[in-house]
Structure 1
Amino acid sequence: MKRIIAFAGVAATAVAFAGASAGGANATTAPSGKGVGGSYIVVMQADPLLRSTKQSDLRTSGAQSKRAALKASHDKVLKGAGIAVSRKVNTYTNALNGFSVLTDAKGAAALAKQPGVAAVLKDEMRQPTAIAAAVNEAKAAPSGVNDLQKFLGLDTGAYAKGIKGNGVIVGVIDTGIWPEHPMLRDNGTFPAAPTLDESERSACAFGNQAWNPNDKPFTCNNKLIGAREFLDVYKSQTGLEHDEFDSARDNEGHGTHTATTAAGNANVQSRIFGVNKDIVSGIAPRAQIIAYKALGDAGGYGSDLTAAIDQAVADGVDVINYSIGGGAEVVSADTLAFLFAADAGVFAAVSAGNDGPGPETVGGPANVPWVTGVGATTFPRNFAGRVKLGDGRVFKGTSVTKGTGVKPIIDGTHAGGTDSRYCVEGSLSAAKVRGKIVLCERGVNGRVAKSAEVKRAGGVGMVLFNSTDGDTMFSDNFFVPTVMMDYTNGARIRRYANNTPGATARITNLGMDTLWHYSPTVTYFSSRGPTVPNSDTIKPDISAPGAQIMAGNTPMPSGGSQPAGQLWQAIAGTSMSSPVVAGSYALLKQAHPEWSAAAAKSALMTQSYAAVRKNDRVTPADPFDTGSGMAKLGSPGAKSTSFQPGLVYDAGFYDYLGFLCDEGREAFANPDATCGGLANAGYATTAENLNYPSIGMSAVPGTMTVKRTVTNVSSQAITATASVRAPQGYRVTVSPATITVAPGASKSFEVSVTNTGAPIGAWRFGSLTWQGSGYAVRSPIAVNATRIASPAEITGTGTSGQATITSTVGVAGTYTATAHGLVPAEHHNDTVAQDPDQTYPSPDDGAGVDRIPYTLNGVDHARWKLDVGGDVDLDIYLLDSSGKVVAQSTNGGTDEQIDLVRPADGTYTMIVHGWAVGATPVAYDLRSWLVPATTGGSLSVVSGSPQNVAVGDKVDVVVGWSGLTAGVEYLGSVTHRIGGTIEADTVVAVNP
């Protein structure tokens, strides 16, 4: 899917959108306009209001005047591009300056050419990050009160000191909210709600009974002080199903759950299927809530989500919970909006994603450093159930449903057709299942969907088991009585059911079991680091309980996704852990309203609970599992807690721009000038040097040194000494090793890491703790060794000349550099037409693609480059001899490039694809360079090779060239070897 459509020069603070993969479910009912063109986001070069206006002043007449001027500039751009202003959907002025518009590719290209436009971006979708699916039978009293809060130490800590979120507003961007929920009731003791602007959309958007008669009117109050709907693009491009609500009312349950987890009322009795469960409280029960519905059943468009962020800061929220994720790009519309929100002091908790336990699975926007990416852990509270077999054996698991009597039990494998072992929809035979408990295996379809299939086939209960013993056991609102358990126990029950004539079982709900010993452990599903693409910052930042979290639900779920009529659910996901952190931020905001978002984040990270275990329930977790650890605030009256961290790692707007110089240079129209200016002003422009509470180094070539600065937020001078737990195979030194920091002052120090025997390419972990004056401020360390750090490409000019390649080596040995090329560009000139559906490959490609064959034999480096100006947007795809796409370039406009390093010999086909051409085929010039693996060309190594090197040595290799033809583009490469082994390559591009 095309992402960035065009650039027209990006201002220093403007960033391009590159969100999650696009898509959405087909809707059975859609508003008029569905399918007309597409949705694009236009980012303007001028700054949004938050750069010149305080958040508290965004509703003043002065801000309204500035806002009107920004909107007028948007309309001017539309008119200049020949697009009706009525096609504009969302307008951004507070945390982003821009708008979204319904148009086609030609319209997007025309918009990109308008003065004042930074970028035009294809709108894409993000998704909620719950683990999608979704007690005592004698109705005994609940066995614990506020177990989550007790586990986090809030009952004897923050709450005992009166810190409950008083005066703090939490904004929840999600699927909406069920306003009548008891955790949202106004008991008359909350502060008066602020007046929210309704000039453009309702601030309490309930009661659209024309769309859905069940959408009852509701008047917002001093607890739920606002609820807005932001589904404008979603409704135009995807459409609402008939049983969704076209309002802020929640028809999925996700938004109600996250909102009540973060800031629901205290001490509310939960009840599922008519049985009392535990007493539930939000993390910040005295905070007030504004809900922003920007997700429909199929997800949410970045344009709508960004509009919700933009409105939230204007509404005056102090904290945003964003249990939403997608692609892990650094620059996107929502990440940019969060950057400006952080600059205004708005704390943001974002779920890390549910794609674990594999590495590099943290999604966006949790991967950027100005938000807090939250992973999920367990805590020692288990909604328990058991299965008692006819032979007397008992197996425990999780359950919130009622139980059954003694019933026949059947393995789903033998209860139907294909995929019946997984209880996939339509797979079970009613003749075999009716009246029985069915054993179902995880996989293929959702957990709750399996129970729906058991119910459809006449089953009376379900035993659901995982595919591994390390996975999380869930407690969804299943359609039939259900117990979920580990793989080993499930396999034992399967053997019993398959080998015992007349096998029977009984499901019993055991209520709430607080003796879950395996806590805290990282949940199986929680996304892990290293961070993509910015692995010099450790993500997730922190973790929090995210399994079996009891909180609110909608009693009217759409699409039959779960049983109706239930106001409560105990579900899991990083969606559930993120609002725990959002609520924690609300408590910190009450205690320290003067803190920046970065200071609060540092306090939470450096004072977290580090003794978490991996999902195997035995091995200590590492920073890529939990970040700094599990969030645990401690007491406001005690030192070395999140309320009194002593020292914090603070960062601001320009620090984050410096980070973008390393990880998001496409953000800037002139990155060299912008990043040079930042560096001259003293800001770090490499990701590892961002002043962050954790220390990540993704490529240590022997030795690397980073800088950090701590600020004293206490009322006393702090003298602290560095205590280091060095990563295995490394030596770590801190200079100075002891610091004294006055109240309000800052102190910088350097951390040097040297490889003393760690393997190349393997991450190792440690920590740095500043200890003294009653404080302990801990930062995790993650380092990865590399054999050599060399530039990917250098450039040169002139028909003859020289250039220097500087590398740092990480191993000792004999270093050699070998030159290949230079070779001149080969040109393929042709024309390509418009692909009607803009999709390659598809049956209608026709003249919308050109195919150019290439034979590669003994090539060290291959490059293809295609750039065409104007409104045209072409893409390129490289196919191997089997027709498989081995590389592609689909950037905005036509600025495409594919590189292959030492490609396999064989035949290849380059596809030139007409993504946005128009009615007339366009001419193009595809340039290619096939740099041979042999030596002896016009590029040579002048000096610096060979030489003996030690760990940490810098190597300067001078390369030279001569005899080139002016006006011809040349390409070559330099291969770096240590001990005869190829370690890296540097492309040499010369334009005489």
Structure 2
Amino acid sequence: MVGGTSGVWLSFCFTTVLLPFLAFCTKQTYIVHMKQDHKPSTYTTNHDWYSAHLQSLKTSDSDSDSLLYTYTTAFHGFAAVLDPNQVQALRQSDFVLDVYEETVYTLHTTRTPVFLGLENQLGLWDGHNIQDLNQASHDVVIGVLDTGIWPESKSFDDSGMPPVPARWKGECEGGVDFSPSLCNRKLIGARSFSKGYHMAVGNDPTVKSKENPTPRDQDGHGTHTASTAAGAHVANASLFGYASGTARGMATAARVAAYKVCWSTGCFGSDILAGMDRAIDDGVNVLSMSLGGGSGAYFRDTIAIGAFTAMEKGIFVSCSAGNSGPERATLGNVAPWIMTVGAGTLDRDFPAYAVLGNGHRFAGVSLYSGNGMGKKQVEIVYSKGNNSQSNLCMPNSLDPKLVRGKVVLCDRGVDARVEKGLVVKQAGGVGMILANTAASGEELVADSHLLPAVAVGKKVGDQIREYVLKSGKKATAVLSFGGTVLNVKPSPVVAAFSSRGPNMVTPEILKPDIIGPGVNILAGWSSVIGPTGLEQDTRKTSFNIMSGTSMSCPHISGLAALLKAAHPEWSPSAIKSALMTTAYTKDNTNSPLRDAADGSISNSQIHGAGHVNPHLAISPGLVYDISTSDYITFLCTLGYAIEHIQTIVKHPNITCSRKFRDPGQLNYPSFSILFGKSRVVRYTRVLTNVGAAGSTYNVSVDGPEEVAVTVKPTRLVFDKVGERRRYTVTFVSKKGISPPKEAFGSLAWNNDQHQVTSQIAYSWPQLLLQ
């Protein structure tokens, strides 16, 4: 599933796309934040208190059954079905900090270990024996919040794994299609959370869900992400022969706990928060969430709220950035305590070809696995101008009389790529050329189409369109398929769909944080659904190839698990820093990373710190650590009211006695410099030595000529491991030089063993004239 999200908040009663049936509802789900320190001693549990509080509301519709969830860890409060009168009464209560509406999020949907350098099981990884590291990762649990799990997948085989850690508190939840016995020493927990979902769809006759309220994955997305993060070795894996080899996750010996929070109509905030609440209590070490996050205030963002508690408890939280690229400012999940992950390509491709009647041969990609269309040229049709939707091959837009027996040229956009192929097939077409428009540029994503189909970029697409329009009925083509090709150059390339900055919530924090493999990723799959996800696709496969930041997120989650195994004492921010400051920004041709959208050079607003490099991340030398109190200071600097900060932090008696000069003062591993009313921006950072005692680092700065950068001191000496050293960097926008809209650079602390690099993004929101 490769859907995108801009992180827009969707309230039930006003959503016209996902939930039109609730347009005139009077009741809906709300999340209520309670003042935990105000709980009367007469109530034994929070649940009793919340239930009694609801019953005490003096409204005619007050109903104790309206309580959906009680949150005790990720959040202090509850989710309930309320009418407007109850909401108003709660907002006036002395026990309530805030009340806000439910949110609907969307999902962001093997060669990877080789590409990342993890394949040599007996080798050394910067002094760490891979076998020993895998043994250590037996104690690491990755919690995956997604569409559930297909436990029968070989990716969750527990052969050779030791007993489950005694500290684990999770459960394997049973149900009509899910036996608790399906869990094992690999898949150690499986739960589902559906009350918010069922409240939303329960009264809608148009929603006919086949999903049972169990952890069973009916979509495939959750199984794919979980196996990417921590799947066991599976020999002879492939998608109908494509990408054949041994499939494995990043942390093959880590444990998996699945929390099903996403359903047929989306992922509901109340369910997500319940899943996070449970996962934190169960004892996960890493939370992996390949689903859409908010782009508004952090105290209104369910994922940001739950992730803060996870961070406090030492849990690393990795989230997908979203699939709304190449448009700017499309990021979700931008809270600084979350690792925000974009997507790049692998050095593997699935070439396919369109040979036209004029002799021109154009290359594209495809995962089509059928009998093909033979070697005979057939007519191409392109319906642009005949029907406003026919050029997009929308449902019921093609005339079978014009299409039957022909190859159809379809413009990419609006509906799913695989659905266009289905429309062509149902109309009698024998093949499809799927041509990008300006919105997709040159990005190529392979799909397991139901008929012979080749996807091509915009430039090639324009040439084919011109040929068809000029040649009319004389235009012909034949399609062919080239299987799997390795060592593709250049790679990685930043995926065009990968959401990018600037960060619109806190522009002083550079996001995304990093990119990882997210294009054409082979991983485990649900056996109840075909590889396209279409109802008409009756094919069955144990593995599927998918693309999206949904796929890059669990790569980072699995690598974080390995770092946690190697350095159990590291905080989530230390792990995050290690992954960011060791990332690379050059491809396998030693050229700067490029953007698949148009082939231009990428930058840190697009790829963040760069592409993850696990070999260097395990021994970064220095890290930028961030404490809970630092994050509280950050929130105070944003000007949030105390009650809003308490929604996130959940501490009583919070005061904002300390504030940063601006939010960019947070000890973040990257810099986002905004030249506004002043030409001068000055930040202080603190580095912690996690390398060797007696280490010395010298600074180097690279950047645009429009900015002068001064670092004091220019040398940092660390006598001991764990020692902290402070430096101040001053950025000055030079006078007499007309500044660009944005520019980019880097700052690195170097010695013979390490290069600790921070990416820098510069912007001039107000052009300075003096």
Please indicate the TM-score interval, normalised by the length of the shorter structure.
0.7 to 0.9
- The one-letter code sitting in structure 1 at the alignment partner of 2:279 is A
**Normalised by the size of structure 2, how large is the TM-score?**
0.87
Question: Relative to 1, partners in 2 of residues 1:36 and 1:477: Cα closer, same or farther, differing over 3 Å?
Answer: farther
CA 88–195 in structure 1, closer or farther in 2 if over 3 Å, else same? farther
Task: Tell me which of 761, 764, 770 is aligned to 1:782.
Answer: 761
Partner of 1:420: 390
Aligned: 1:372 with 2:339: yes
Q: Distance in 1 between matches of 2:81 and 2:639?
A: 27
Match of 1:89 in 2: 68
Instruction: After TM superposition, list the pairs within 5 Å mapping 1:620-635 onto structure 2.
Output: 620-634=601-615
The 3 A distance-change label for structure 1 pair 245 and 465 is farther
CA contact (8 A) 1:26 1:238 kept: no
* SS of match in other structure, 2:409: strand
Match of 2:700 among 723, 736, 739: 723
Per the alignment, residue 894 of structure 1 pairs with none
Q: What do residues 379-414 of structure 1 show as CA deviations (whole Å, max 9, x unaligned)?
A: 211122222334543322111112321352422317
CA contact (8 A) 1:550 1:569 kept: yes
After alignment, is 708-717 or 119-128 more displaced? Answer: 708-717
1:374 CA displacement: 0.7
Q: In 2 relative to 1, CA 686–72 (structure 1 residues): closer, same or farther, beyond 3 Å?
A: farther
> Is contact 2:224-2:525 (8 Å) kept?
yes
Of 376, 384, 401, which aligns to 1:431?
Answer: 401
Matched, 1:571 2:509: no
Preserved CA contact (<8 Å) 1:20 1:327? no
Separation in structure 1 between the aligned mates of residue 645 and residue 391 of structure 2, nearest angstrom: 58
Residue correspondence of structure 1 range 217-366 to structure 2 within 5 A:
219-239=182-202, 241-273=208-240, 277-329=244-296, 330-331=298-299, 332-363=301-332, 366=333
Q: CA deviation at 1:441?
A: 1.2
Q: Which amino acid aligns with 1:41?
A: I
Structure 1 residues 658-683: Cα deviation after superposition (integer angstroms, max 9, x where no partner) = 11123361453699xx99986756x6
What SS class does the counterpart of residue 358 from structure 1 fall into? coil
| Contact 2:381–2:403 (Cα < 8 Å) also in 1 | no
Distance 2:349 2:427 in 1: 30
Q: What SS does the aligned partner of 1:291 have?
A: strand
Quick check: 1:100 aligned with 2:95? no
In the alignment, which residue of structure 2 is the partner of 1:117?
Answer: 96
Aligned pair count? 722
- Using the alignment, how far apart are the partners of 1:551 and 1:664 within structure 2? 44
Counterpart CA distance in 2 for 1:277 and 1:632 is: 24
Of residues 557, 570, 594, the one that matches 1:582 is 557
> Which residue identity is paired with 2:557?
A
Please give the per-residue CA displacement for 1:872-911, whole angstroms capped at 9, x wherever unaligned: xxxxxxxxxxxxxxxxxxxxxxxxxxxxxxxxxxxxxxxx
Identity, in percent, stands at 33
Q: 1:204 to 1:685 in 2, by over 3 A?
A: farther
1:492 to 463, 472, 475: 463
The residue type paired with residue 38 of structure 1 is: Q
Alignment of 1:848-927 (within 5 A): none
Checking the alignment, whether the CA contact within 8 Å between 1:28 and 1:241 is kept in structure 2 is no
Separation in structure 1 between the aligned mates of residue 230 and residue 179 of structure 2, nearest angstrom: 23
Are the structure 2 counterparts of residues 664 and 115 from structure 1 closer, same or farther at C-alpha, using a change threshold of 3 Å? same
- AA in 1 matched with 2:636: C
Point out the more displaced range, 462-471 or 731-740. 462-471
Alpha-carbon shift at residue 497 of structure 1 (Å): 4.3
SS in 2 for 1:226: strand
Residues 692-723 of structure 1: CA deviation (Å, up to 9, x unaligned): 00112223411121111111122413211211
**Contact 1:48–1:95 (CA under 8 A) maintained in structure 2:** no
Cα 1:575/1:684, change in 2 over 3 Å: same
Aligned to 1:154: 118
Bigger radius of gyration among the two: 1
- In the alignment, what sits opposite 1:884? none
- Give the match for residue 411 of structure 2: 441
Distance 1:739 1:680, change over 3 A: farther
Shift in alpha-carbon separation, 1:617–1:433, aligned structure 2, 3 A? closer
Q: Could you say if the C-alpha distance between residues 496 and 726 of structure 1 is closer, same or farther in structure 2, counting changes exceeding 3 Å?
A: closer
1:730–1:745 CA distance, 2 compared to 1 (3 A)? same
| C-alpha distance in 2 between matches for 1:571 and 1:500 | 36
Say if 2:340 and 2:513, in contact at 8 Å, map to a contact too. Answer: yes
Q: Aligned to 2:45, which of 49, 52, 69?
A: 69
1:158-210 CA-to-partner distances (Å, cap 9, x unmatched) read: 49622344321111111112221221223243543668658xxxx3345425x
Q: Distance in 1 between matches of 2:642 and 2:291?
A: 23
Letter in 1 for 2:673: M
Matched, 1:703 2:680: yes
After superposition, the Cα gap between the structure-2 partners of 1:686 and 1:317, relative to the gap in structure 1 and judged at 3 Å, is same
Which residue identity does 2:397 align to in structure 1?
Answer: S
Out of 440, 443, 447, the residue aligned to residue 472 of structure 1 is 443
Moved more, 468-477 or 740-749: 468-477
Q: Which has the higher helix share?
A: 2
Match of 1:694 among 650, 670, 688: 670
| CA–CA distance in structure 2, aligned partners of residues 321 and 445 of structure 1 | 27
Amino acid paired to 1:204: C
Q: Distance in 2 between matches of 1:48 and 1:223?
A: 42
Aligned equivalents of 2:391, 2:84: Cα separation in 1: 46
SS in 2 for 1:668: helix
Partner in structure 2 of residue 186 of structure 1: 158
Q: Could you say which residue in structure 2 is the equivalent of 1:38? A: 28
User: After superposition, what is the alpha-carbon deviation per residue over 1:697-755, rounded to whole angstroms, capped at 9, x for unaligned?
Assistant: 22341112111111112241321121111333011111111111231111111110111
Q: Relative contact order (C-alpha < 8 Å, sep 6+): which is higher?
A: 2
Residues 106 and 728 of structure 1: is their aligned pair in 2 closer, same or farther, counting only changes over 3 Å?
farther
Question: Following the alignment from structure 1 to structure 2, what is the Cα–Cα distance between the partners of residues 230 and 241?
Answer: 18
Q: Which amino acid counterpart does residue 56 of structure 2 have in structure 1?
A: G
* d(CA) in 2 for partners of 1:340, 1:658: 16
What letter corresponds to residue 598 of structure 1 in structure 2? S
Match of 2:731 in 1: 753
Tell me the residue number matched to 2:54: 78
Letter aligned with residue 152 of structure 1: L
**596, 599, 609: which one pairs with 1:615?**
596
Q: Secondary structure at the match of 2:150?
A: coil
Structure 2 vs 1, CA of residues 20 and 343 (structure 1 numbering), >3 Å: closer, same or farther? Answer: farther
Question: Which structure: greater strand fraction?
Answer: 1
Q: CA RMSD in A?
A: 3.2
2:479 maps to 507
- Whether the 8 Å contact between 1:284 and 1:587 is mirrored in structure 2 is yes
Q: Per the alignment, in what secondary structure is the counterpart of residue 362 of structure 2?
A: strand
Point out where structure 1 has 5 or more consecutive residues left out of the alignment.
1-16, 50-64, 131-145, 210-214, 635-640, 789-809, 813-992
Structure 2 unmatched runs, 5+:
1-6, 587-592
- Rounded to whole Å, the distance in 1 between the matches of 2:219 and 2:698 is 51
SS in 2 for 1:355: coil
Looking at structure 2, the residues matched to 667 and 421 of structure 1 have their Cα atoms a distance apart, in angstroms, of 54
Aligned CA distance change for structure 1 residues 245 and 382 (closer, same or farther; 3 Å): farther
Measured at CA, do residues 669 and 587 of structure 1 come closer, stay the same or move farther in structure 2, by a change above 3 Å? closer
The separation in 2 between residues aligned to 1:553 and 1:407, in whole angstroms, is: 36
Please point out which of 721, 724, 730 is paired with 1:743: 721
Matched, 1:592 2:563: no
Matched with 2:589 is none
Deviates more, 1:367-376 or 1:74-83: 74-83
Question: Following the alignment from structure 1 to structure 2, what is the Cα–Cα distance between the partners of residues 280 and 460?
Answer: 33
Give the Cα–Cα distance (whole angstroms) in 1 for the partners of residues 408 and 222 of structure 2.
32
Maintained 8 Å contact 1:24/1:238: no
Q: What whole-Å deviation, never above 9, does each CA across 1:125-180 have from its counterpart, x for those lacking one?
A: 111112xxxxxxxxxxxxxxx42112112224649622344321111111112221
In structure 1, C-alpha distance between the alignment counterparts of 2:284 and 2:144, rounded to whole Å: 9
- 1:482: which partner in 2? 453
For 2:620 and 2:104, how far apart are their aligned partners in 1?
38
